Structure 1
Amino acid sequence: MTFARDQWYVAAFSNEVGRDLLARTVLGEPLVFYRTESGAAVALADRCVHRRYPLSESRLDGDTVVCGYHGFTYDPSGACVFVPGQQRIPRTARVAAYPVVEQDTLVWVWIGDRDRADASTIPRAPWLGDPRYTTVRGMAPLDARYSLLVDNLMDLSHETYLHGGYIGTPEVANTPITTEVDEDRGVVYVSRHMDDAECPPFYARSTGIQGRITRWQDIEYHPPCLYVLHSRIAPQGVYPPAEGDDDQAFHAEIVYAITPSTAHTTYDFWAVARDFAVDDESVSEYLYQSNHTVVMQDVTALNILERVITGEPERYQELSINIDTGGLAARRLLARMVESSTVEAPR
């Protein structure tokens, strides 16, 4: 399996990175994250050059990381600034430092060629930091390759079967989708519009809607990492009153950052931002617990699928149908990215 390295990936939520050292592995690269005393986020290779001791198991001294094994000390640029027992610091005594950008409460890291790291190409999720929205969030590690999570999120028909009783209803699987691909921007759009649908508990309990609903699911996938589901619901028959007018709808912006850790493990960062009941803590708690359950149902299913695929390579051939058009388009764009920066994924 190969990764698209010359791309931005989410390594953490902003509130995870602080004055405690945080270990994350992204695209097979062990990293350590922390904040300088001025608040800037730093990402360094998580291995001391001396005996490969993890810097994440070490300590901060001001803005420097002091290796917890033999005391080699590194500044935010990755340069070694102290070696125990001698004045001379070897020329090669440095660890890699990686470009980091904080945007929309997400910490993005660039693993590839530094000269190609353009922060303006990072896709946006502005609702996560918008005071008009309230957001719940979490992260679930998968013991499965990241492409399986991409497939999962691009085809929401599985909600009917895997997430019944939470977010799925019969209409999700039974409603046809439309798929568009913006080849220039490299974005896949998948839409499912349900004019008369059952209201799942996820929305019935959080919005108070009783009875049937109009429900729209509009997906944007910005490969390789960012996925946004624009979810809009309203009581059936009142939405939308006019084309483009959805003032009577409840809006939930459901964001996933899909970050490969290794060839067979993935970080599943998720967030649900809403523009309703923004001050109601009970709604926040319900949506957090409900979405966490949904995510863990996906984790369980994808971990099973990873074991099947790994244990039975090339034994079965996939069959794709109409609902897979978005996922197949995503695969094609990901393959194009991999071709432009091909490096074997560490196992």
Structure 2
Amino acid sequence: MPHMTAFARNQWYVAAYSHEVGRELLGRTVLGEPLVLYRAEEDGGPVVLHDRCVHRRYPLSEAPTRLDGDRIVCGYHGFTYDTTGTCVYVPGQKRVPRTARVASYPVAERDSLVWVWIGDPALADPEAVPRARHLDAPGWVTVRGMEPIDADYGLLVDNLLDLSHETYLHGGHIGTPEVAETPITTEVDEGAGIVRVSRHMDDAECPPFYARSTGIVGRIDRWQDIEYHAPCLYVLHSRVAPTGTVPAPDGGDPEGFHTEITYAITPSGDGKVYDFWAVSRDWATDDAEVTEFLYKSNRTVVMQDVDALNLLQRTLGGERAGYQELSINIDTGGLAARRILARLVEEGEGAGTGPRVAR
């Protein structure tokens, strides 16, 4: 995987889960931009500002910086900013310098995710945020977490679009021989920036992740249908059912167990990525033991990916110049994603970044 130093800036990225954003100041870095997030008292909406005071660059997400109503008061010298990033108070004088302001970023809150736009604010369309409605829809229960990875975000995209690695890296959890042995089908919508990769396995071994949580005994039919919305949102539509069980013609599937596995892939900086992960289910929704098992089991799987990608990043950093990568059929989806990401970067560079506007 080539080392990627450019980002598609004119795109929406997940900066936090909704539950993380409140009246406590939260610091995150997206595309190399340090951000401070909080929730406005007046309307309850999320606010995203540049996380550096204009005076001496003190991080606004760090104590003793605090909120005074909806204004943020720098904990170093007291410079105070409103929700648009405009400085409304400086110590020792009545006149506030005209240039005393921090960047304010367009923000959208959808499906329990807080999205931020780092590029040209004039291009930020909240209606273009890709949806993952299952994350907070009635009838679904979700477990979730976030892990920072010291690896290029392209490596995580590769990892998620080629699930054959489940057989080897995640054996004993979600991996079985059939995942690597079953061919994939790939569809690419270049214009929309969407890659779909599907793998349908008949008469497959039931991995512990599903055997222990669903109670299925014996072999299963297992469907994995991926939708990757470049650059940030990945959803794996998973269906498992006892072998030979097919959905009804009307779409009903009472014997199937449906799981939506969501990843938000947000570049933090050069060689760093936030791995937001969530597992949503429409079965055993009242079973707290299943919820706890799925959280612990999936976090174990995620940490196996984290360790592997951290190692891979270090390894690639030491490779000799001119190393030639080898790709095969299972890489079709990942290679398509690379093409789309490269195009988004190129288009963003042509669009410029423009001035920041008030929230």
CA–CA distance in structure 2, aligned partners of residues 79 and 241 of structure 1? 58
Q: Cα offset for 1:244? A: 5.1
| Equivalent of residue 196 in structure 1, options 189, 200, 203 | 203
| Equivalent of residue 54 in structure 2, options 14, 25, 49 | 49
1:256 aligned to 2:263? Answer: yes
Q: Cα offset for 1:312? A: 1.6
Q: How many equivalent residue pairs? A: 344
SS in 2 for 1:2: coil
Find the counterpart in structure 2 of residue 94 from structure 1: 101
SS in 2 for 1:341: helix
Q: What amino acid is aligned across from residue 16 of structure 1 in structure 2?
A: E
Q: What amino acid is aligned across from residue 17 of structure 1 in structure 2?
A: V
Q: Decide whether the 8 Å contact of 1:202 with 1:287 is kept in 2.
A: yes
Residue pairs, 1:50-199, within 5 angstroms: 50-57=55-62, 58-199=65-206
Q: Decide whether the 8 Å contact of 1:2 with 1:342 is kept in 2.
A: no
Q: Cα offset for 1:242? A: 4.8
Find the counterpart in structure 1 of residue 36 from structure 2: 32
Structure 1 unaligned runs (5+)? Answer: none
Q: Cα offset for 1:320? A: 0.3
Q: Decide whether the 8 Å contact of 1:26 with 1:259 is kept in 2.
A: yes
Percentage of pairs with the same residue: 72
CA–CA distance in structure 2, aligned partners of residues 224 and 6 of structure 1? 10
Q: What amino acid is aligned across from residue 157 of structure 2 in structure 1?
A: V
Find the counterpart in structure 2 of residue 7 from structure 1: 11
Residue pairs, 1:305-344, within 5 angstroms: 305-342=312-349
Q: What amino acid is aligned across from residue 26 of structure 2 in structure 1?
A: L
Q: What amino acid is aligned across from residue 44 of structure 1 in structure 2?
A: L
Range 39-48 or range 235-244, more displaced: 235-244
SS in 2 for 1:141: strand
Q: Cα offset for 1:313? A: 4.9
CA–CA distance in structure 2, aligned partners of residues 220 and 32 of structure 1? 30
Cα gap change, 1:83/1:147 in structure 2, threshold over 3 Å: closer, same or farther? same
Find the counterpart in structure 2 of residue 215 from structure 1: 222
Q: Cα offset for 1:316? A: 2.3
Q: What amino acid is aligned across from residue 228 of structure 2 in structure 1?
A: Y
Find the counterpart in structure 1 of residue 311 from structure 2: 304
1:17 aligned to 2:24? Answer: no
Q: Cα offset for 1:164? A: 0.3
CA–CA distance in structure 1, aligned partners of residues 340 and 250 of structure 2? 31
CA–CA distance in structure 1, aligned partners of residues 252 and 284 of structure 2? 21
Structure 2 unaligned runs (5+)? Answer: 353-359
Measured against aligned partners, the alpha-carbon deviations of 1:194-226 in whole angstroms (never above 9, x if no partner) come to: 011000000001100010000000000000000
SS in 2 for 1:56: coil
SS in 2 for 1:55: coil
SS in 1 for 2:163: coil
Range 269-278 or range 241-250, more displaced: 241-250
Range 215-224 or range 231-240, more displaced: 231-240
Q: Decide whether the 8 Å contact of 1:33 with 1:43 is kept in 2.
A: yes
Find the counterpart in structure 2 of residue 236 from structure 1: 243
CA–CA distance in structure 2, aligned partners of residues 236 and 255 of structure 1? 25
CA–CA distance in structure 2, aligned partners of residues 54 and 185 of structure 1? 37
Q: Decide whether the 8 Å contact of 1:11 with 1:109 is kept in 2.
A: yes
| Equivalent of residue 246 in structure 1, options 247, 253, 257 | 253
Q: Cα offset for 1:239? A: 2.4
SS in 2 for 1:330: helix
CA–CA distance in structure 1, aligned partners of residues 225 and 310 of structure 2? 26
Q: Cα offset for 1:310? A: 1.4
SS in 2 for 1:3: coil
CA–CA distance in structure 1, aligned partners of residues 244 and 308 of structure 2? 36
Measured against aligned partners, the alpha-carbon deviations of 1:6-39 in whole angstroms (never above 9, x if no partner) come to: 0000000000000000000000000000011131
TM-score normalised by L of structure 1:
0.97
TM-score normalised by L of structure 2:
0.94
Q: What amino acid is aligned across from residue 335 of structure 1 in structure 2?
A: A
Q: Decide whether the 8 Å contact of 1:10 with 1:107 is kept in 2.
A: yes
Q: Cα offset for 1:245? A: 4.9
Find the counterpart in structure 1 of residue 287 from structure 2: 280
Q: Decide whether the 8 Å contact of 1:13 with 1:107 is kept in 2.
A: yes
Q: What amino acid is aligned across from residue 191 of structure 1 in structure 2?
A: S
Cα gap change, 1:64/1:308 in structure 2, threshold over 3 Å: closer, same or farther? same
SS in 2 for 1:327: helix
